[in-house]
Structure 1
Amino acid sequence: MLSLKNNSYCSKNSKNKNMTYGIVGLGRFGSALAMDLASAGAEIVVMDKNEERVRTLREMTEHAYVVANLDKKTLIETGIQNCDVAIVCIAEHLDTSILTTLNLVSLGIPRVIAKAATAEHGVILEKLGAEVVFPERDMAIRLASRLENSHNLDIVQLSEQINISKTIVANEAIGLSVRDINLRERFGLNIIAIQSGDIVINLITPDYRFKEGDILFVSGSKEGIFKLNRWLNS
């Protein structure tokens, strides 16, 4: 295993530091996450038992480690305990996922996120104190929403109750006001922003009238968003 001799770059006591992320497991999900974060300028610590995967990420961070196991001592040697966020991306191996999540939470990392393979796995991870993500399920929900509704550009599920949808305004709504379509009363949805051309409006008044090409960002339940989609399609 490679040890981190100097992890001051993500020391919690350093001034003006950037957000730092620790990523455990470099499969498809973990590698894509690491590359996106690094491309966005974030500082990352990554680790995996597969040397080839780690070697690929060394092009993006000098803090990439081959680890034989993920016990607490090994995790501390990588310096991951000094990161702001740690993400466990090894859902396929339940025992390792659960133990690693427990160790990261116990290290006092402010935010621990763990990928879950099943609902039951997710419940256990939540009880350990982690935020849980279901990448495959979330992607399926987003794809299904786009297939079912030609107006829907994207949907992000934040929780069972809170979803954010990006939707093109239907032709029938052009010229109508926010008050006229009344999404809150009809579908239980709130408009959080409207993109009109190159302008994003986040202070929405009831008198705003929709224009051709406007894009709505709404939040609410998945059921409410699906009802909105059906209304747009009809």
Structure 2
Amino acid sequence: MKRRKDTIEYGIIGLGRFGIALATALSEAGKEVMVVDNTESKVKQIRDMVSEAFVVEGIDKASFESAGIQNCETVIVCIGEKIDTSILATLTVISMGVPRVISKATSAEHGCVLEKIGAEVVYPEKDIAIRLARRLVSPHALDFISLNDDIAVSEIRLTTVLEGKSVMEAGIRNQFGLNIVAMEREHDTTIDIQPTYRFRKEDVIVVIGKRDNINRFEAYLSEE
């Protein structure tokens, strides 16, 4: 375990599959992560990967304060199965003054309660299902992330429709209202998208915009 700092970037409460995967991904991205769980074996499993790891006796303010959750900039409550415990943990962390609290929800009702007490809400199972469905029904979509009911980010493989055209000539922004935020060619990714850059078939672009516009763009790519 590393020496405790005054502040730490991320705190994770609950080390189920979602919590462990999240802690691992954040740590591998070079972020400072504190994990808290009441099961010693789970904490031991990930202790060497994170900045700090604590076994707590209960889901209460005293236990969280002892671990130092109040020093985290963002806390993610990854307790989804036990709804009452999830709500209690979320409420406790919010009352401790953590600037940003995100909680995992397993149903719309669960999420509604979490939102009402002041947390941001994620629905991991729902999001995964939506992303999988998108990939199944959209042959050019490699990944899809919904930002809200209207705006999304989509990773799209290009076709011969745009082959040889420059970014300016393709008119993706003017014609479809989409902004290109990243581009990948042969495993080389860039975010510096020049208007003169010419597309090749199999280039992958990441666009952000309205869902309807993304759908129109994907339909356009299928017209080969």
Q: What residue number does 1:63 align with?
A: 52
Q: What residue number does 1:11 align with?
A: 6
Question: Structure 1: which 5+ residue stretches go unaligned?
Answer: 1-6, 13-18
CA distance in 2, matches of 1:97, 1:113: 11
- CA shift, 1:62, in A, is 6.6
- 2:16, 2:78 within 8 Å by CA — same for their partners in 1? yes
- CA shift, 1:85, in A, is 1.2
Residues 1:229 and 2:218 are matched in the alignment:
yes
Letter in 1 for 2:219: R
Q: Which range moves more in the overlay, 78-87 or 41-50?
A: 41-50
- CA shift, 1:185, in A, is 5.2
Aligned runs of 1:39-188 on 2, under 5 Å? 39-61=28-50, 63-184=52-173, 186-188=175-177
> How has the CA–CA distance of structure 1 residues 187 and 120 changed in structure 2, closer, same or farther, with 3 Å as cutoff?
farther
Letter in 1 for 2:210: S
CA distance in 1, matches of 2:125, 2:79: 13
Identity of aligned residues (%): 45
- 1:196, 1:215 within 8 Å by CA — same for their partners in 2? yes
CA distance in 2, matches of 1:41, 1:191: 26
Q: What residue number does 1:4 align with?
A: none
Letter in 1 for 2:79: I
C-alpha RMSD over aligned residues: 2.5
Q: What residue number does 1:16 align with?
A: none
Q: So what's the TM-score if we normalise by structure 2?
A: 0.86
Question: Structure 2: which 5+ residue stretches go unaligned?
Answer: none
Secondary structure at 2:48's aligned position in 1?
A: coil
- 1:149, 1:233 within 8 Å by CA — same for their partners in 2? no
- CA shift, 1:25, in A, is 0.6
Q: So what's the TM-score if we normalise by structure 1?
A: 0.82
Secondary structure at 1:210's aligned position in 2?
A: coil
Residues 1:33 and 2:22 are matched in the alignment:
yes
Q: Which range moves more in the overlay, 144-153 or 97-106?
A: 144-153
Letter in 2 for 1:200: T
